[in-house]
Amino acid sequence: MRNLVLGIESSCDDTAAALVDANGAVMASVKVAQTEVHRPYGGVYPELASRAHVAEILPALHQTLLTAEVSVEQIRAIGVTRGPGLIGPLLVGLNTAAGLGLGWNLPVIGVNHLRGHLRSADLELARVKYPAIILLVSGGHTILAHMESQTAIRLLGTTRDDSVGEAYDKVGRMLGLGYPGGPAVDRLAKTGEPCIRFPRPMLDSGLEFSFSGLKSAVSRYLDNESDPSHEDVAASFVQAVLDLLMAKCRRALAENPSVSLVIVGGVAASPQIRAAASELCHELEVELCLPPLRWATDNAAMIALATWDYIRLDQWPRPIPDVRLSLIDY
Ligand code: KG4
Ligand code: ZN
């Protein structure tokens, strides 16, 4: 029986493949991270990312099929990230999917990476109580969405400039903390006081985000102070991020009837963000859903799950030339 979707993800710096059934059960999920490739550059180096995807994508697929112990006859469709993302890395995944689709005579469905993230909390088991507010905070994205159900998604706001993860990474670099900066900034912040009043752009208006002003303020502060306390800078930066994220979540929950708040993306690993969200949800009597980090960060299982949505919505099969054309949407 053809009851599995093969998901492929290669939009940034993780090469991933997964096999997922219609209920979101994960038969196998393989992810090859490129952190060490990009570490010397303090951020993702697109050309090297593309080359690493070329090297890793077939081994990742092979490993996925071996782990799940399934044959090609059990695969119903191939879902592949079509964007947004880095064009070179995306093309590696898309062309691999197109080749497999032709070879195995399977439909290939181009999936929006963000839809994958928004659905990731329901992998393995249906964790999300709908209607829900979803906050996606990663290195590439900062997005607030309302989900009436698994497939009724409404975008509420996104960032006008940098993503939260980018701001963490840049501040980490300014403080000499290496790459990725997020976890190190969090750790340092715990040893400092949030006594520096950095700006909180767009705090009081709407559901859009902006982080570049905050990032520049940290840079200016470090340039102007003769002996700045790095601990206090980290703590004050984290406090500004928390204030911004929680204010937007509070507003989104107030304006859109919701029974839960879901936080996904790599930045959701932050203990400070988890604690602040837990406090907010307790106060508003809303359920907080924090899926395991293996699903909250980039992975191919979320792409496969979103592919099932397209199948259920009867938006398939998408012919392969359409997948190619849809890249220019981003
Ligand atoms: O979702 P993700 O793993 O990858 C993509 O963006 O595609 O997110 C990575 C981002 C990086 O910017 C990293 O610094 C940040 O998540 N991050 C954190 C923490 N752990 C990872 N940011 C804040 N606190 C953390 N503990
Ligand atoms: Zn992502």
- Which tens digits make up the pLDDT trace of 248-258? 999 999 999 99
Q: What is the pLDDT of residue 325?
A: 38
Residue nearest to atom 23 of ligand 1 (CA): 182
Query: Region 248-273: what's the mean pLDDT?
Result: 96
Bridge partners of 5, per DSSP, are: 20, 77
Which CATH number belongs to the domain containing residue 169 in this structure?
3.30.420.40
158 and 271 together in one domain: yes
> What's the 273 CA to ligand 1 centre distance in angstroms?
12
145 and 267 together in one domain: yes
Residue 26 phi, psi (nearest 5): -100, 115
The domain of 104 spans 4-119+296-329
> What's the 266 CA to ligand 2 centre distance in angstroms?
8
pLDDT category, 154, cuts 50, 70, 90?
very high
Lowest mean pLDDT among 128-137, 146-155, 190-199: 146-155
Sign for the pseudo-dihedral over CA of 184, 186, 191, 196: positive
Closest ligand to the CA of 138: 1
140 and 244 together in one domain: yes
Residue 128 phi, psi (nearest 5): -85, 130
Q: What is the pLDDT of residue 315?
A: 64
pLDDT category, 317, cuts 50, 70, 90?
low
39 and 181 together in one domain: no
Query: Region 131-157: what's the mean pLDDT?
Result: 94
281 and 249 together in one domain: yes
For 101, the 3-state DSSP assignment is helix
Closest ligand to the CA of 165: 1
